[in-house]
Amino acid sequence: MFWLRSRRVVTIALAHAIEREAARRGCAPLPVLRRKGFLGFGWFVESIRATKDDWGPQYVAQTTDAEMGKDVHTFYVPIFDFEVMMTRDPANVQAVLATESQDWDIGEYRTASWAPMFGDGVFTARGEHWKHSRALVRPQFSMDQINDLDLIERHVQELFAAIDRRYSPCAGAGLDAGWTPKFDLLPLFYNLTLDITTELIYGYSVHSQNPSQRLELPVIPGYDAPDRENIGMHMDGGKLWIETRGAFGRFRWLLPTRKFYAHCAAIHKYADWFVQLRLSRGDKYLDGLQSEAGQPSKDRFVLLHELAKATKDPVELRSQTLNILTAGRDTTASLLGWVFYFLARHPGVLAKLRNEVVQQFGPFRQSGPTGIEFRVLRDSVPYLYAVINEALRMAPVVPLNERVALRDTVLPRGGGPNRDKPVFVPKGTQVLIPTFAMLRREDLWGPDVEQFRPERWVEDGGRKFGFEFIPFGGGARQCLGQHFARIKAAYVIVRLLQRYDRVENLEWPKDAPMKFHHTIENRSATGVQIRLHEASFPDGSV
């Protein structure tokens, strides 16, 4: 009882001090979401349930509109004694991520919930250690070799082979001629990006699309060979736990840990094997790799090999490479899934996009692609990028971001009756940035905000990116892999559309709402249920 009363006295005194400081800085009060349930835990429980039911991002957008109104974009969320703010105002988002980023860092709950699996890497580190991590990995992303289209093509060939093996198009002349049977394209994209990313990071692809392609590994005394079969499964399983642990915040100890730690151990064992090989072989690490790409091994870009020139710490090498592995695999696979999810539902967009692709790069040829070069892919297919942007707008791969105030600070907007006054943010406040909700603001995107319409990115000279569109984050911690991700996604889309001229949506019911399965990044919870129609060309090249 005494504890409660003294805590209340401290809280009231603190509230007065905050009010005085806010007034001194010319700030006005922020709207407050009504308290729901016992101590405000109603919101917490509802949001966890919505995430579990695969509509977490929509829940946040709809609840904000319904409870606060469509013109309130920054407000306090009262849950127990958490200091939580929510903002979908681009001006405030810019301050948090970019212009005032020195006052902010990622929250300790992110670090604590990710760390058992991903260690102290660029995603999870805070403060000075994050600066060190970013400086370590950043130079790798400016190297030309990271955009190795030959490497991507080899794995796209495996994707085609996997589709042919399991979902071969119907031969003959009936209504189904040229069509594959119905299948879910999404898991195939996760395999594709896993194969590409493991090769890029460790030099040895796991070849999940075709295990018979796996290179034989040397023996390292004292180390079991890495489990290349189940690495994707362990990543998915572990990330689901991370997501729930993050949502539980300081109450994550309530969750069981046995399965989570089993996934972590398997992933560590996998990465440690390559780290050990690199450390024992030194500069000769690449010598063991066959040259699948037709280029000498010494010219190949392998992230682990490059990072090990800067640090020999095995734990750091494990953590940094695993951080990039999850960033490289899951986000791009999710994006590719969403692109085909929308193309299947918008045949007009598909036809227009395919036309651009075939005009620029020609039809599909068994002999392999010609002319799909990095610069052409980057500069000469504007509608393709419009489609990618629109998919990222409709279904942002990272629908929620967050930061915690490192010191008392101010956000530029949201206070007072007109919501235009600066807002005081006490040290320790967590700010949630619901990217999805920002991308559903009608006042920013227009009355067709709910429609998939890539034209919005190209008409009237093209839309400029501001902080209302931050699928790759922004400011200090902006995504290091965004150009690589866009090029990789663009390449895969080009190759698939060269080969297939129609994509039919076979999800039932056809107009079912989008469902977001959230495991740090989100992916379509219903997969991408489609069938593909193989194009035929007069020259008979297919």
What's the min distance (Å) between Cβ of 450 and ligand HEM?
21
- In the range 48-107, which residues lie near ligand HEM by CB under 6 A? 106
What's the min distance (Å) between Cβ of 169 and ligand HEM?
29
What's the min distance (Å) between Cβ of 20 and ligand HEM?
33
Nearest residue to 398 (alpha-carbon basis) of 294, 488, 523, 287 = 523
Nearer to ligand HEM (CB atom), residue 58 or residue 320: 320
Cα 101 → chain centroid = 21
Nearer to ligand HEM (CB atom), residue 116 or residue 473: 473
Nearer to ligand HEM (CB atom), residue 58 or residue 401: 401
What's the min distance (Å) between Cβ of 118 and ligand HEM?
11
Return the amino acid letter for 71: D
Distance from first CA to last CA of the chain, Å, rounded?
Answer: 79
33 binds ligand HEM (CB under 6 A): no
Nearest residue to 119 (alpha-carbon basis) of 320, 284, 379, 336 = 320
Nearer to ligand HEM (CB atom), residue 439 or residue 535: 439
Binding mask 190-229 for ligand HEM (x = CB under 6 A): ----------------------------------------
* φ and ψ at residue 308, rounded to 5 degrees: -70, -10
- In the range 415-434, which residues lie near ligand HEM by CB under 6 A? none
395 binds ligand HEM (CB under 6 A): no
Residue 370 CA to residue 266 CA, distance in Å, equals: 40
Residue 307 CA to residue 279 CA, distance in Å, equals: 11
Of 171-179, 227-235, 365-373, 465-473: span binding ligand HEM (CB under 6 A): 465-473
Residue 205 CA to residue 196 CA, distance in Å, equals: 7
* Residue 383 token pair: 């509608």
Nearer to ligand HEM (CB atom), residue 329 or residue 533: 329
* 268-272: long-range contacts, CB 8 A cutoff, minimum separation 24: 268/318, 269/224, 269/226, 269/227, 270/226, 270/227, 270/228, 270/231, 270/234, 271/202, 271/317, 271/318, 271/321, 271/322, 271/325, 272/223, 272/314, 272/318
Where is 248: in which H helix or E strand?
helix 231-248
What's the min distance (Å) between Cβ of 123 and ligand HEM?
5
Q: Quick check: 133 and 120 in contact, CB under 8 A?
A: yes
DSSP 3-state of 523: strand
Of 55-63, 152-160, 357-365, 472-480: span binding ligand HEM (CB under 6 A): 472-480
301 binds ligand HEM (CB under 6 A): no
Q: Among 398, 425, 520, 535, which residue interacts with ligand HEM (rule: CB under 6 A)?
A: 398
Q: Among 58, 87, 331, 409, which residue interacts with ligand HEM (rule: CB under 6 A)?
A: 331
- How many residues contact ligand HEM, by CB under 6 A? 24
What's the min distance (Å) between Cβ of 141 and ligand HEM?
7
What's the min distance (Å) between Cβ of 338 and ligand HEM?
9
DSSP string, 417-485: TTT-EEEEE-TT-EEEE-HHHHTT-HHHH-TTTTS--GGGGTGGG-PPP-TT--TT--GGG--TTHHHH
Of 35-43, 169-177, 209-217, 325-333: span binding ligand HEM (CB under 6 A): 325-333
Return the amino acid letter for 432: L
Nearer to ligand HEM (CB atom), residue 397 or residue 423: 397
- Beta-carbon contacts of 480 under 8 Å, excluding residues fewer than 6 positions away, are 122, 134, 137, 138, 141
What's the min distance (Å) between Cβ of 448 and ligand HEM?
23
Q: Among 425, 471, 516, 532, which residue interacts with ligand HEM (rule: CB under 6 A)?
A: 471
DSSP 3-state of 405: strand
Q: Among 484, 491, 500, 516, which residue interacts with ligand HEM (rule: CB under 6 A)?
A: 484
How far CA 455 is from CA of 335, 382, 383, 395, in Å, comes to: 19, 10, 8, 17
What's the min distance (Å) between Cβ of 54 and ligand HEM?
19
Q: Among 485, 497, 528, 535, which residue interacts with ligand HEM (rule: CB under 6 A)?
A: 485
What's the min distance (Å) between Cβ of 477 and ligand HEM?
4
Nearer to ligand HEM (CB atom), residue 398 or residue 439: 398
327 binds ligand HEM (CB under 6 A): yes
* 174-180: long-range contacts, CB 8 A cutoff, minimum separation 24: 178/533, 178/534, 178/536, 179/504, 179/531, 179/532, 179/533, 179/534, 180/531, 180/532, 180/533, 180/534
What's the min distance (Å) between Cβ of 232 and ligand HEM?
16
156 binds ligand HEM (CB under 6 A): no
Of 229-237, 265-273, 349-357, 479-487: span binding ligand HEM (CB under 6 A): 479-487
**264 annotated ligand-binding residue:** no
- In the range 109-128, which residues lie near ligand HEM by CB under 6 A? 122-123
* 308-315: long-range contacts, CB 8 A cutoff, minimum separation 24: 308/275, 308/278, 308/279, 310/136, 311/136, 312/279, 314/272, 314/275, 314/276, 314/279, 315/119, 315/120
472 binds ligand HEM (CB under 6 A): yes
Burial of 232 (0-12, 13-18, 19+ CB in 10 A): buried
400 binds ligand HEM (CB under 6 A): no
Residue with the shortest CB distance to ligand HEM: 481
The binding site comprises 479
Q: Where along the sequence are the contacts to ligand HEM (CB under 6 A)?
A: 106, 122-123, 134, 137, 324, 327-328, 331-332, 335, 397-398, 401, 471-473, 477, 479-482, 484-485
The binding site for heme comprises 479
